[in-house]
């Protein structure tokens, strides 16, 4: 059952194509987790997050200057290589500048039938951002209605909200199982579950998550008790080879703060009469991406809370090379975790991970944590 | 003999004086009980003006550029930022600025003058975060930042009332915050006047740039850097607005009399993004070829206010609002409507918008080619630059690219860039002219 997530992770394109054949519905590629999937689900559209493939490539150089993060270039490469040729639509919600270029170049050179740029506000700490986002959601909803040729009713929005909320709750429950002294699943399995959730039909994914929680995890003993408990945080990260290596060194990853992980599903839409307002509030108040975390640094408290509740001994801070948003947070993030006695290891990721080099550093970090434990 | 007559720009030294006064005013503000604030070159500087006539600012990008100009200072500043844990590939202005605080050295001498508050706006990922760190480094000085990233303005998008409400609403909240933070009563008249000065400065600067359509070009880009900078310092300052009026008259007179910036002008190019400030001699090198860089979307549109007209395919200086605002609310909304049309904001949403404006410049300013600075120091303005290159080339204009950094000279190689210029000149069929 739990292997389903890995299968989905590996067969994302086949899955989406089959979904299209089966349902006759439209597929929307999206670039950032601030995209209000509730509205897409309300229109019976399948949202699929566009991610890279972690292979060296030589197709993006004419399109994105090499000073931007490898993740955005890897994403664009997928488009240029035709791997997402089944997309009917493609959109982005405003987040960092880097990933925006993957969207704009893709749109320019391989436009699907529908594209959309949602100006998600950055000043999420201002109460002004909620009515503004609400109005942008209204405009977006109208655009989607025109695209799919069907009105999106309140009942449709309710369905979208319920699907997203159910999925979020299921993922929260799944992550909660990792709080135990002997986690019933590895960090790698959790990554497969969290990342595949960003492109699999929500109802289908939630059903499997629920089944796993109820039927598979109880009593499951992977012998993880006593392993060094770690959290991972930072830039986009769906690098399973990396996670596998870290856990192979005698640790277990028990939680994360990534847009490919817990940030995606952390909070729910609190239903209210004005559905779009309810959705707007959810995206404004979700755990912030660093691009939106100002003037206060709310991420520090959130990450400390995760570290405490999941009882981690150390944290690996991952930064995609050139990722300005995280580079701007990492020094404070490190100080903050240090302040609660959680040492950090900083690693810079590229499209492919120099596993051997990183392994030595991870081992040294784990040794250091083990010594800390002794004294 | 030179092809065209040339003269020094008479008002050049006045620009220099204004700049010096600006920096001195900031450093000395506290001596007379005044207020000092810091923020970016794009910030709505008209807003703090409502706090009184003794309120002085220090804008960060021109400050970072001034640091970069002084190689030794800049290297030490950036090393200080790196030692504090900040990555070497972050915005180079920002690292120069942080380094100044960390070293407690002001690029113009003395210790770094601590601001009373931060008043910033945000469209580049680094804008708000820049000052979040400044606030922390300075021991928690108060900060207010206005998000302006609401999507493109006309003709590329639509500035709906909801978008204006959002930005103007933040400004109005900011005014209350300013009163609370400084304990002063806000003067709407001063604010309205400052907004009007802002419109005057930014509209007039665009008109000055437009005069560069003339052959020979009355201004070259290297000179323009010393002129446009005033708007990056304080566009809402009456002194700056008045200066641009004067400058316009002088440049217009140059056009009428056929006065050239580059006496042997035989080809015209434009650049893009901030130049490597420590190596402006690159522009002097172009002169040896009789090539004038007439500007860039950066020099024209970083502060200049233009409307892009797709029908005529031209950038037109944005006309002044028909009347002066009369209330705080009206002024805030007008200020937002005005600034969100800034050409340099549009490309944040789509590289194609910038390509359209750049191609318009190629056509209307009689350019032979374009020199794009792939600027590792600025993630904001290098955004989409590779697509700009493709689009301009497709239209038939030759493009030269060179990598560098506007504020970190460790990432710029002058010798190699000059070789690229030589090769580019060959492509353009331009030969060196006798001095
Ligand atoms: S947040 Fe970082 S990793 Fe994510 S797209 Fe932006 S620059 Fe890349
Ligand atoms: S990266 Fe560029 S646009 Fe962004 S803050 Fe720095 S100078 Fe400004």
Please state the ipTM of this predicted complex. 0.96
Is the pLDDT reported for residue A168 higher than 80? yes
The pLDDT tens digits for A249-306 are 999 999 999 999 999 999 999 999 999 999 999 999 999 999 999 999 999 999 999 9
**Long-range contacts: B127-131, Cβ < 8 Å, 24+?**
B127/B40, B127/B42, B128/A122, B128/A123, B128/A294, B128/A295, B129/A290, B129/A291, B129/A294, B129/A325, B129/A328, B129/A329, B130/B40, B130/B60, B130/B91, B130/B94, B130/B97, B131/A295, B131/B38, B131/B39, B131/B40, B131/B60
Q: Do B133 and A100 touch (CB under 8 A)?
A: no
pLDDT of res. B155: 97
How wide is the angle at C-alpha A89 spanned by C-alphas A87 and A93, nearest 5°?
A: 120
Q: Do A119 and B144 touch (CB under 8 A)?
A: no
Q: Would you say how long chain A is, in residues?
A: 375
Q: Does residue A48 contact residue A22 with C-beta atoms inside 8 Å? A: no
CA atoms within 13 A on the CB side of A225: 6
Taking the centre of ligand 1 as the mean of its atom positions, its distance from the CA of residue A100, in whole angstroms, is: 10
pLDDT of res. B434: 67
Peptide bond into A319 cis (omega under 30): no
Q: Which residues of A touch B380 (CB under 8 A)?
A: 97
Is the pLDDT reported for residue A373 higher than 80? no
User: Can you list the residues of chain B whose pLDDT is less than 50?
Assistant: none
Residue carrying the six token digits 């860089």: B293
The pLDDT tens digits for A3-58 are 999 999 999 999 999 999 999 999 999 999 999 999 999 999 999 999 999 999 99
Question: Does the CB atom of residue B378 touch ligand 2 within 6 A?
Answer: yes
Q: What is the mean pLDDT of chain A?
A: 96
CA atoms within 13 A on the CB side of A38: 31
Residue B20's DSSP bridge partners are none
CA atoms within 13 A on the CB side of B170: 32
Q: Do A123 and B85 touch (CB under 8 A)?
A: no
Is the pLDDT reported for residue A188 higher than 70? yes
pLDDT band for position A154 (cuts 50, 70, 90)? very high
Confirm whether pTM is higher than 0.95: yes
Query: Quick one: tokens of B244?
Result: 């641009």
Instruction: Write phi, then psi, for A123 (nearest 5 degrees).
Output: -85, 70
Q: Does residue A71 contact residue A323 with C-beta atoms inside 8 Å? A: yes
Q: Which of A44-48, A159-163, A239-243, A370-374 has the lowest mean pLDDT?
A: A370-374
3-state SS string for A28-54: EEECCCCCCHHHHHHCCCEEEECCCCC
* H or E segment to which residue B102 belongs: helix B92-103
Backbone Cα Rg of chain A: 20
Cα–chain-centroid distance for residue A196?
Answer: 10
Mean pLDDT of the region A72-92: 97
Residue A354 Cα, gap to closest chain B Cα (Å): 20
Rounded to the nearest 10°, the torsion over CA A105, A106, A110, A114 is: -120
Taking the centre of ligand 1 as the mean of its atom positions, its distance from the CA of residue A64, in whole angstroms, is: 14
Residue B304 CA to residue B235 CA, distance in Å, equals: 10
Ligand nearest to the CA of A323: 1
Question: Does the CB atom of residue A279 touch ligand 1 within 6 A?
Answer: no
Which of B139, B88, B89, B102 has the alpha carbon at shortest distance from B118? B139
Selecting from B128, B160, B384 the residue whose C-beta is nearest the C-beta of A295 gives: B128
Residue B352: how many CB atoms within 10 A of its CB?
Answer: 19
Q: Do B151 and A108 touch (CB under 8 A)?
A: no
pLDDT of res. A357: 87
């Amino acid at each position: 059952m739990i292997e389903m997530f890995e299968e989905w992770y590996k067969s994302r394109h086949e899955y989406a194509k089959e979904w299209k054949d089966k349902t006759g519905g439209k597929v929307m590629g999206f670039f950032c987790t601030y995209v209000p999937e509730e509205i897409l689900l309300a229109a019976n559209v399948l949202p699929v997050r566009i991610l890279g493939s972690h292979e060296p490539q030589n197709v993006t150089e004419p399109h994105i200057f090499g000073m931007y993060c490898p993740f955005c270039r890897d994403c664009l490469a997928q488009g240029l290589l035709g791997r997402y040729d089944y997309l009917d639509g493609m959109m982005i919600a405003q987040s960092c500048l880097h990933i925006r270029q993957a969207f704009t170049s893709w749109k320019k050179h391989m436009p699907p039938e529908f594209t959309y740029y949602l100006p998600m506000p950055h000043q999420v700490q201002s109460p002004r951002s909620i009515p503004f986002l609400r109005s942008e959601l209204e405009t977006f909803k109208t655009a989607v209605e025109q695209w799919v040729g069907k009105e999106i009713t309140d009942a449709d929005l309710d369905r979208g909200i319920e699907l997203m909320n159910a999925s979020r709750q299921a993922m929260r429950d799944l992550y909660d199982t990792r709080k135990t002294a002997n986690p019933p699943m590895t960090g790698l399995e959790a990554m497969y579950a969290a990342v595949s959730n960003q492109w699999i039909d929500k109802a289908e994914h939630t059903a499997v998550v629920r089944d796993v929680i109820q039927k598979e995890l109880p009593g499951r003993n992977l012998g993880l008790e006593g392993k060094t408990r770690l959290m991972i945080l930072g830039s986009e990260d769906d690098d399973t080879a990396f996670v596998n290596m870290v856990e192979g060194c005698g640790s277990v990853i028990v939680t994360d703060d990534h847009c490919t992980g817990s940030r995606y599903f952390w909070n729910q839409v609190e239903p209210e009469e004005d559905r779009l307002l309810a959705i707007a509030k959810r995206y404004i108040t979700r755990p912030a991406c660093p691009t939106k975390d100002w003037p206060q640094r709310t991420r520090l408290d959130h990450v400390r809370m995760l570290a405490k509740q999941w009882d981690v001994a150390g944290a690996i801070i991952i930064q995609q090379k050139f990722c300005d948003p995280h580079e701007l947070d990492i020094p404070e993030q490190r100080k903050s975790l240090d302040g609660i006695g959680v040492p950090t290891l900083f690693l810079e990721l590229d499209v492919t991970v120099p596993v051997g080099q990183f392994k030595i550093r991870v081992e040294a970090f784990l040794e250091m944590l083990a010594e800390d434990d002794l004294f | 003999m030179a092809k065209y007559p040339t003269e020094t720009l008479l008002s050049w030294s006045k620009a220099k004086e204004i700049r010096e006064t600006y920096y001195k005013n900031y450093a000395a503000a506290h001596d007379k009980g005044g207020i000092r604030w810091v923020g970016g070159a794009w910030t709505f500087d008209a807003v703090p003006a409502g706090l009184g006539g003794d309120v002085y600012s220090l804008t960060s990008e021109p400050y970072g550029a001034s640091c970069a100009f002084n190689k030794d200072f800049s290297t030490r500043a950036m090393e200080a930022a790196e030692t504090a844990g900040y990555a070497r590939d972050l915005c180079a202005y920002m690292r120069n600025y942080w380094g100044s605080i960390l070293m407690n050295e002001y690029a113009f001498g003395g210790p770094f003058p601590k601001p009373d508050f931060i008043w910033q706006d945000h469209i580049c990922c680094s804008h708000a975060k820049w000052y979040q760190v400044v606030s922390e480094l300075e021991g928690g000085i108060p900060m207010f930042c206005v998000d302006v990233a609401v999507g493109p303005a006309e003709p590329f998008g639509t500035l709906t009332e909801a978008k204006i409400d959002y930005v103007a609403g933040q400004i109005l909240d900011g005014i209350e915050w300013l009163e609370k933070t400084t304990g002063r009563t806000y003067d709407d008249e001063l604010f309205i006047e400052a907004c009007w000065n802002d419109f005057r400065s930014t509209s007039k600067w665009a008109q000055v740039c437009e005069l560069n359509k003339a052959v020979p070009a009355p201004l070259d880009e290297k000179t323009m850097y010393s002129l446009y900078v005033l708007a990056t310092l304080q566009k809402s300052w009456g002194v700056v607005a008045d200066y641009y009026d004067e400058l316009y008259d002088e440049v217009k007179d140059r056009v009428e009399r056929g006065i050239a910036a580059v006496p042997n002008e035989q080809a015209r190019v434009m650049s893009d993004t901030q130049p490597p400030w420590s190596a402006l001699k690159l522009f002097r090198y172009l002169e040896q070829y009789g090539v004038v860089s007439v500007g860039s979307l950066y020099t024209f549109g970083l502060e200049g206010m233009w409307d892009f007209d797709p029908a005529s395919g031209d950038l037109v200086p944005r006309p002044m609002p028909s009347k002066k605002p009369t209330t705080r609310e009206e002024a805030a909304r007008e200020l937002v409507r005005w600034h969100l049309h800034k050409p340099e904001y549009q490309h944040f949403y789509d590289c194609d918008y910038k390509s359209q404006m750049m191609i318009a410049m190629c056509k209307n300013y009689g350019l032979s080619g374009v020199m794009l600075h792939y600027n590792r120091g600025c993630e904001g303005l290098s955004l989409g630059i590779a697509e700009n290159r493709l689009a301009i080339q497709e239209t038939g204009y030759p493009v030269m690219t060179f990598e560098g950094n506007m504020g970190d000279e460790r990432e710029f190689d002058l010798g190699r860039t000059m070789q690229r210029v030589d090769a580019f000149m060959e492509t353009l069929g331009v030969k060196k002219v006798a001095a």
